[in-house]
Structure 1
Amino acid sequence: MKSDRRTFLNSSLALAMGLAAGCGNDAAVSSSPIANTRHGPVEGRLEEGVYAFKGVRYGADTGGRGRFMPPRPSQPWTDPAPALEYGPACPQSRPASGREMPEGESEDCLHLNVWTRGLRDGKKRPVMVWLHGGGLWRLSAAGAWQAGRNLSARGDVVMVSPNHRISVLGFSHFGDINPDYEGSSHAGMLDLILALKWVQENIEEFGGDPDNVTIFGQSGGGQKVSLLMAMPAAKGLFHKAVIQSGPMPLTLERAYANDLASRFLARLDNPGADADALAQAPLSDVMKAYYETFDEIGGFGVMGIVQDVAPVVDGDILPQQPFWNSAPDVSKDIPLIIGSTRTEMTEYNLMEDPDAAGMDFSGAATRLRSIFGDDAEKILARYRENHPDASAWEVYALIRSDWPTRLFSLHIADRKLEQGGAPVFVYRTDWETQDRDGLLMAPHAIDIQFVLDTADATEPLGLQAAERKIMTEYMSGAWLSFARNGAPKAPGGPDWPQYSLPSRPTFIFDLECRIENDPDGDDIAILRENASRYRLVAGGINQD
């Protein structure tokens, strides 16, 4: 299951890989631009009218004594530092026996990327900070499929994308074993807070407005947005937020987190989390111990998608589980866009069960019993009644998407609305890809290319190119207008109303955008009625 889950993450994001396309040029002409950050100058390049600075250091090396500790700012430098290539990803690979960690991964990973159409021009452009997906344990901000050049060119915004610690290095709870490591389960999120502080201190140099920062992310990136919305240390560092297919971030029960930490430390022969020993342990040994620990316990997660790591609610750095019982007060004034795709889980369903697309309704019921128990037939019957022309595979895909992604996206929207603060806007992406003979429909991650205007960076190249262009106009346009003034507006689409009850107005992104009130609400209702009875999590997930 663990290797399948990792394959799912990679294959979901394979919908968005390749080479990004170009846009117009109204930037200055220097092909080797220099930007002066608070820590030192950096040299970027001009990419078809947009200044690109890749791999800009925002924090010190997290290896050695920095391992599992809060991030530290960079030491200053004087000579221009090259900012031409993406910085290294946080270590995440399983080292082969007797081999070093692979190239491209390093604990010296606190780097970010900036794209802008102007330097030091005082234009106060909106700033959009993209948080990469991959849960809390995979991937980085690199890659043409999530590059910021096109979005910066299209909307004249400053696009920023940070790397940060993930996996065992970013979310391990050692604080109850050694108080020196208090906060270690939040190290990855503290990295992002440091990156947002860097934005506040430096973004004017890149033509951006530090008082107009939008954070947005898909999947695990959306979970990170939710976590930042609950962290007091992040208050004032951003002003708008977007959660794409990343509802309800998981946090660990403290006792369970301590058990995981003890098992991990035992494999390093360091049961007391001695700081010197942890700092000096070879990185390959750390990663090997991490993977062996989760091989042993089987991990934890939602709906069989095993998640290796998660922070702990400690009452200080993270005072509450974001949005579970209530929306965090610390982000009451933050406008929010939240939504999902119509069939989030299709690629994962086919990966775990290659014959799933050929299932009949009896097979669908069998598969659903592992989640809904004796309610499986009742739920399946409701969906069949509401979608009489859908095949068993299509009905199953809708159920697996609504539970839990759609349902809990709406849960966050409801909590945000109950709070009575800044508005929330809800969407659903219904456009369907014809890739894999149309079996994927509207899968997880399909929207990244449209929001970031990187459709030309996806495979298969040219498939439904005209339709992808239309979807890009809609989605990137809506995100850009939200970043600019807090009011999402898809060019050529209907006005997007604020979310409200009982109507639950939802913006449907398709070739012809529309507003639907509580779309497929009768489907969601049967899940919402008995949600507490269904198997959501395994392991030690905190549900308080």
Structure 2
Amino acid sequence: MSQTSHFTKVNRRDLLSAGAALIGAAATGLAFEPKASAEKPSTGATHTEPSATAPNYAPPIVQIQGGQLRGYRDGKTTVFLGIPYATAERFELPKPVPPWQGIKSAQSWGPVCPIPPMAHVGIDEFVFPHRYWVEDEHCQILNIWTQSTSASAKKPVMVWLHGGGFTNGSAMEAYAYDGKNLSEFGDVVVVSLNHRLNILGTLDLSAYGPEYAQSRYTGTADILAALQWVQANIAQFGGDPGSVTLFGQSGGGSKAARMLHTPSAKGLFHKVVTQSGGGEVLADQDPAALLKIQQQIAAQTLANLNLTGSDISKLKTIPYLDLITAGQAALRSVAQANNQRAGWNVIADDNYILRQFCDWSSDIPQMSGSVFSEMSSNYVKSIDKNSWTPQQVNEHLTAEFGDKKDAIAAAFKTSFPRKQVQDVLFFARPNTRALAAKAQAGHASVYNYLFVYEYPVNGGTTSFHTAEIAFVFHNLTEPQVRVATGDASEGYALQDKVSRAWINFAYTGNPSQPGLDWKPFSDADPQTMVFDTVSECRNIHAKELIALLPPPPAPRF
């Protein structure tokens, strides 16, 4: 349901134009009247015809299954934004977009899924700048950047799944997500997409009727619908439907990983990259217990809205803000009642999503990894750790590790000989369990990485959750990203290596490149590509270091 469906629709451009004219008239004391059509320009006026050679005087038009789309040219790249790949009503599975007559504009971002209200600016805003956009529940749109619109080009396709867990985010939320530079640098077709999130994409209403049997998977079903759209139409944008790589970070990595467990995803993608996400081993899940939690969340949401099961149809028309407020309160109460975390999650029920890998996933190569600090970067507490004296370093290490300080420091220097010893205070334990399980479950190679590069800003910022994304997209020259990442020559050199690894993986399933051989990962031989000012593939001895570190704090509910 659109948040604005009860308003009369007004063309934004008409409204702004009229408003500007009224303001101008008021400022000059003139009545708001159009000039007579016979009035001639003043003597000094210069009249110029539009240039037929301008890149978007005649913008590109592509024919897809539903109709025609108008994009635009941006340098070498042809761009199509806001393409509808499906349509859906609240809590229902997506359906194909009805065909249309004429030419549909695909020149601006489409709506993003509504998210819980934000009360504060994110602490990471400087180092990972965001942008926000019009929210609407009809958010099934995708964006394409390509170097060719010839159906014979057959370039690899890279489909990006944004982060934000299963709760927040969008395909255009981060400046780093723009696909133009990645498409140009790698000669690939880049696709990003929006889909339903939070209560709209995961609420389990299956207890209230068969029509809601899959309501907890509507966000996942949107992703599948987008991948089906890619299979049907991407050739018209120069892409090869037989070479599709899913890549995503954080929640996007978890979504990509779950596709390996989703039977209906068979044939829709051919390689997968999970970045700082997808570390869950679904085989460890207890479907019955998790379904019980999800249905408690639904029941409590109804109760918070003073509704019963017989009122379930009313849930479709409640304004989103009221719906998500009731749902967020339900999460808190269910978490407290069960003494465990509760959230907008996508679980494996051994039907829609399996706990085991799908048999066909054994042929899907995977690349997976994390960043050095994840959620524990020094920027979180504004710690200028590079200014510490040797005495201060020793004091901080002693306070954190006690009598294990020397052993931990020695193990850390073995794992990361080029880092300063105090960096261990901000080290996040890599989780490779799911990648090891994938390696054991199939014969396709899997590859592990750790992004270690320190941003040269604010005295030195250890790599944080999302830090590698701008490097993957080759976006360090984008104005907001350039400032955030420090505008340093070593950063630009590193982005070539990182982006090239992702591109090579999309082309061949092997991320190696000249001068930077990347060996497959296994539990017995945990080879890891360390991305830093000096990049290399080696065993970083993470298990030995992790065994010495104190356990992470227990989660709070």
Q: For 1:25-59, what per-residue CA distance to the aligned partner results, in whole angstroms no more than 9, with x for missing partners?
A: xxx99851111121111110001111100000001
Match of 1:113 in 2: 143
Match of 1:163 in 2: 194
- Checking the alignment, whether the CA contact within 8 Å between 1:230 and 1:330 is kept in structure 2 is no
- Checking the alignment, whether the CA contact within 8 Å between 2:297 and 2:327 is kept in structure 1 is no
Query: For residue 247 of structure 1, what is the amino acid of its counterpart?
Result: G
- Spell out the pairing of 1:290-329 with structure 2 (5 A cutoff): 290-296=327-333, 308-320=343-355, 327-329=357-359
Query: For residue 311 of structure 1, what is the amino acid of its counterpart?
Result: V
Match of 1:10 in 2: none
Measure how far apart 1:218 and its partner are. Answer: 1.0
Measure how far apart 1:463 and its partner are. Answer: 1.9
Q: For 1:120-163, what per-residue CA distance to the aligned partner results, in whole angstroms no more than 9, with x for missing partners?
A: 34011000000011111111001532111111111111110010
Partners in 2 of 1:144 and 1:183 — Cα distance? 33
Partners in 2 of 1:36 and 1:112 — Cα distance? 16
- Checking the alignment, whether the CA contact within 8 Å between 1:115 and 1:159 is kept in structure 2 is yes
Does residue 152 of the first structure (1) align with residue 183 of the second (2)? yes
Partners in 1 of 2:331 and 2:276 — Cα distance? 25
- Checking the alignment, whether the CA contact within 8 Å between 2:160 and 2:190 is kept in structure 1 is yes
Match of 1:202 in 2: 233
- Checking the alignment, whether the CA contact within 8 Å between 1:54 and 1:86 is kept in structure 2 is yes
- CA change 1:459–1:516 in 2 (3 A) is same
Partners in 2 of 1:361 and 1:298 — Cα distance? 40
- Spell out the pairing of 1:90-109 with structure 2 (5 A cutoff): 90-94=113-117, 104-109=134-139
- Checking the alignment, whether the CA contact within 8 Å between 1:178 and 1:274 is kept in structure 2 is no
Select the residue among 502, 512, 515 that pairs with 1:479. 502
- CA change 1:189–1:462 in 2 (3 A) is closer
* Secondary structure, aligned partner of 1:214: strand
Partners in 1 of 2:525 and 2:237 — Cα distance? 42
Match of 1:383 in 2: 408
- Spell out the pairing of 1:113-512 with structure 2 (5 A cutoff): 113-142=143-172, 143-249=174-280, 253-272=290-309, 274-296=311-333, 308-320=343-355, 327-347=357-377, 351=380, 382-387=407-412, 394-398=423-427, 401-402=428-429, 406=430, 408=431, 410-438=432-460, 440-457=461-478, 458-460=481-483, 463-490=486-513, 492-512=514-534
Measure how far apart 1:427 and its partner are. Answer: 1.1
- CA change 1:350–1:487 in 2 (3 A) is closer
- Checking the alignment, whether the CA contact within 8 Å between 2:166 and 2:251 is kept in structure 1 is yes
Partners in 2 of 1:34 and 1:522 — Cα distance? 57
* Secondary structure, aligned partner of 1:346: coil
Match of 1:12 in 2: none
Match of 1:54 in 2: 81
Does residue 513 of the first structure (1) align with residue 540 of the second (2)? no
Partners in 2 of 1:127 and 1:30 — Cα distance? 28
Partners in 1 of 2:399 and 2:351 — Cα distance? 44
Measure how far apart 1:378 and its partner are. Answer: 8.0
Partners in 2 of 1:311 and 1:81 — Cα distance? 34
- Spell out the pairing of 1:58-97 with structure 2 (5 A cutoff): 58-60=85-87, 62=88, 66-94=89-117
* Secondary structure, aligned partner of 2:454: coil
TM-score of the superposed pair, with normalisation by structure 1: 0.79
Measure how far apart 1:276 and its partner are. Answer: 2.3
* Secondary structure, aligned partner of 2:268: coil
- % identical aligned pairs: 31
- CA change 1:380–1:334 in 2 (3 A) is farther
Q: Which has the higher contact order (CA 8 A, sep 6+)?
A: 1
- Checking the alignment, whether the CA contact within 8 Å between 2:255 and 2:278 is kept in structure 1 is no
- CA change 1:263–1:417 in 2 (3 A) is same
Q: For 1:236-284, what per-residue CA distance to the aligned partner results, in whole angstroms no more than 9, with x for missing partners?
A: 1000000111132487711111111111111222231744212222222
Partners in 2 of 1:477 and 1:428 — Cα distance? 16
Partners in 2 of 1:487 and 1:255 — Cα distance? 41
Measure how far apart 1:519 and its partner are. Answer: 3.8
* Secondary structure, aligned partner of 1:436: coil
- CA change 1:93–1:501 in 2 (3 A) is closer
Measure how far apart 1:292 and its partner are. Answer: 3.1
Q: For 1:428-478, what per-residue CA distance to the aligned partner results, in whole angstroms no more than 9, with x for missing partners?
A: 11211122211x312211110111111123152672431221111101111
- Checking the alignment, whether the CA contact within 8 Å between 1:128 and 1:157 is kept in structure 2 is yes
Partners in 2 of 1:200 and 1:273 — Cα distance? 40
Measure how far apart 1:309 and its partner are. Answer: 0.9
Query: For residue 170 of structure 1, what is the amino acid of its counterpart?
Result: G
* The structure with more radius of gyration: 2
Measure how far apart 1:382 and its partner are. Answer: 4.5
* Secondary structure, aligned partner of 1:176: helix
TM-score of the superposed pair, with normalisation by structure 2: 0.77
Measure how far apart 1:365 and its partner are. Answer: 8.4
Query: For residue 474 of structure 2, what is the amino acid of its counterpart?
Result: D
Single out whichever of 79-88 and 241-250 deviates more from structure 2.
Answer: 241-250
Structure 1 residues without counterparts, runs of 5 or longer: 1-27, 97-101, 321-325, 368-375, 540-544
Does residue 35 of the first structure (1) align with residue 98 of the second (2)? no
Match of 1:373 in 2: none
* Secondary structure, aligned partner of 1:332: helix
Match of 1:522 in 2: 544
User: Please, what is the CA RMSD of the aligned residues?
Assistant: 3.2
Partners in 2 of 1:363 and 1:384 — Cα distance? 12
